[in-house]
Amino acid sequence: MFHFYQFTLCLPIRTCFPAKIIGKENLPKGACIISSNHTSNLDAILLALHTWEKKYYLAKKELFSNKMSSSFYKSLGCIKIDREKSDVNAIKNSLKVLKDGKKLVIFPEGTRVNKENMEMGEVKHGVAMFATKAKVPVVPMFISRKPKLFRRTKIFIGKPFELEEFYGKKLSSEELEKASNVIVEKMNELREYALNSLTKKK
């Protein structure tokens, strides 16, 4: 069903919400976590329609409110998560995705943030936890602005990095905070690079 949606939605979505992905070559083969800022419910859809390989996304349970939307988001690769509690099923399903050599997309801010300067909001520890438990690389991603009708959005994909210094350690809150700070630093570096390149082209 995933590739069916890719074929049927590709032309209308790309026409109405054009996007350009910069840095596709930075995506490694096999398992990784793509850590991105979050501007819109279209973020996952744009990434899915502009890259061929199926990816999996942690998505709020509210998106699965009815059978039609639930079927669509599940086909897209979305993993339902209850953000109000520690969702054991979502954690297990996410780790299985990584164990199976697939790519997991996480928006670490946990909600949509669309500030004028696109600064990161408060970051949760999910990316750090999954990356250290599964021992997979993290790939930073930056969405330049909220997708709007007939306005092109640029999506930047940075180089992968690993949190090797945290592998095998007890994942205390302190260690997760340190690992999350590394992730935020890498994401902010990509954000600065993206904003600078966009400014130069104006």
User: What letter represents residue 11's amino acid?
Assistant: L
pLDDT digits (tens, 9 = 90+) for 88-104: 999 999 999 999 999 99
CATH top-level class for 2-200? Answer: alpha beta
Per-position DSSP letters for the chain, written without gaps between them: -HHHHHHHHHHHHHHHS-EEEE-GGGSPSS-EEEEE----TTHHHHHHHHSSS-EEEEEEGGGGSSHHHHHHHHHHTEEEE-TTS--HHHHHHHHHHHHTT-EEEE-TTSS----TT-------SHHHHHHHHHT--EEEEEE-S--BTTB-EEEEE---B--GGGTTS---HHHHHHHHHHHHHHHHHHHHHHHHHHHHT-
User: What letter represents residue 36's amino acid?
Assistant: S
pLDDT digits (tens, 9 = 90+) for 45-90: 899 888 889 999 998 899 898 998 899 899 999 999 998 888 899 9
Res. 41 pLDDT band, cuts 50 70 90:
confident
Distance from C-alpha of 98 to C-alpha of 114, rounded to nearest angstrom: 29
Res. 152 pLDDT band, cuts 50 70 90:
very high
Res. 201 pLDDT band, cuts 50 70 90:
low
Distance from C-alpha of 125 to C-alpha of 181, rounded to nearest angstrom: 9
